Amino acid sequence: MVKVEEIEELLQEIEMLRMQLNRLTLSKGILDSEVIQVSQKLDELLNRYDSYRRVPFFSWMSFVGVKKAEWRIT
């Protein structure tokens, strides 16, 4: 089961790689092997994050460890 902390860590890693990719692209161009490697890693992380987002709300609440008795919709 994925915890909220893991998702937050994933989002931080995505942001770090996004900034790194921007810097590398500006300095080396889009065809550089390092740029391509970072881009592929970023794609993997974005796909993982997207798979978490596709879980319906109530399933997601269980997915991140929130017990049914704690569900509150306001």
Least confident of 12-16, 41-45, 69-73: 69-73
Q: Can you give the C-alpha Rg of the chain in angstroms?
A: 16
Domain extent, residue 9, equals 4-64
The pLDDT assigned to 22 comes to 98
Tell whether 40 is covered by a domain.
yes
pLDDT of the residue at 71: 46
DSSP class of residue 60 equals H
Please compute the mean of the pLDDT values over residues 2-8 and round it to a whole number: 80
pTM: 0.71
How many domains are contained in the chain? Answer: 1
Q: Is 13 left (phi over 0), alpha (psi -120 to 50) or beta?
A: alpha
In a domain, 71, yes or no: no
Q: Is residue 46 part of a domain?
A: yes
